[in-house]
Amino acid sequence: MAGNSFGKLFNLTTFGESHGAALGGVIDGCPSGLDIDVDAIQNELDRRKPGQSEIVTQRKEPDTVTFLSGIFEGKTTGTPIGFIIENANQKSHDYSHIKDVYRPSHADYTYDKKYGVRDYRGGGRSSARETVCRVVAGAIAKQLLKEVEIYAYVSSVGDITLNKPLNELDFSLTESNIVRCPDAETAERMIERIKQIRKEGDTIGGTVGCVIKNVPVGLGEPVFDKLHAELGKAMLSINAVKGFEYGSGFEGSKMKGSEHNDIFNADGTTKTNLSGGIQGGISNGMDIYFNVAFKPVATIMQSQETIDNQGNVVDMHGKGRHDPCVVPRAVPIVEAMAALVLADFYLINKLYH
């Protein structure tokens, strides 16, 4: 299997399966002498971990990270940073009913056809549990990007949407509720919607918004390595993601150039920011903002028609512990992937200076 590494200079390679002994990773290219706050890294993992509230999967995992190399006396040494997160609460028997059955809209069929073998225990490598490694690396990337502030939040659940302008959002409120929406009234409606969906044995999708502040001018490499292209790849690599838009996004396609152009101020800032902080694939110093769309979780607690590995049509019923809506736990993952992209470009940009 290829494609387990991300980044050029600040590079992350991950390994492990959902129901294996552990997941882990190796971070290569992190500069030496960086002070590492392990508590801050664990806090990011706690934001992502299962079992944290009544509206997420009830799998109980401590998700405690153990660093194996690359950090000495609280500082990075410049050598590869190796780490693992042990799996403590596997219930592989929950998946015995799909040993020979392909779950609709999962990776079961494609993995089996591509590799000729598949780990049916929670999806193995295709499970979103793999993202725990991204969160560890992203937390370190955040500590490298000392001035940059990354704020992700739930902007919609189903048809319930947070309709406040970005400049009116108080991101300090994002962690004040279990759905991670920085608006109390909207958050309550989202929570009730997820609870209802769970009672129905169904799932629902949503979107995660993200705003990145204090980004220096000059991050991004034309032509093929544009900043927004790498952000898009990073977000689309997250499990269950179906779409990415930045700046004015698809709404911008409905506008005239006279409406869409960001007029300069004398200091190089712009009066508007429909560009989303990126022009020509390079950061311009304005806030970067984007939206990430997540599909409904594929495993539902209802009977569905599917096929087995012999091509027989069969009925299956979802079992196990699954999120009725993935977006609350996706918030720290979106932040982590954004941090990895910016850290990589930050190091690349230092080559010019």
| Cβ-contact 351, 153 below 8 angstroms | no
CA distances from 122 to 57, 60, 86 (A): 13, 14, 16
Pick out the chain residues at pLDDT < 50. Answer: none
* Tokens standing for residue 14: 């991950």
For residue 223, give Cα distances in angstroms to 85, 228, 246, 352. 37, 11, 18, 17
Q: What is the pLDDT of residues 168-198, one digit of tens each?
A: 999 999 999 999 999 999 999 999 999 999 9
| The predicted structure's pLDDT at residue 319 | 73
Is the omega angle on the peptide bond into residue 217 within 30 degrees of 0, that is, cis? no
Spatial neighbors of 231 by CB under 8 A, at least 6 apart, are 244, 246, 288, 290, 338, 341
> pTM here?
0.96
Q: What is the structure's pLDDT at 154?
A: 98
Residue pLDDT, tens place only, 107-162: 999 999 999 999 888 788 999 999 999 999 999 999 999 999 999 999 999 999 99
pLDDT of residue 96: 73
**Contact partners, residue 73, CB within 8 Å, separation at least 6:** none
What amino acid occupies position 339?
A
pLDDT given at position 59:
76
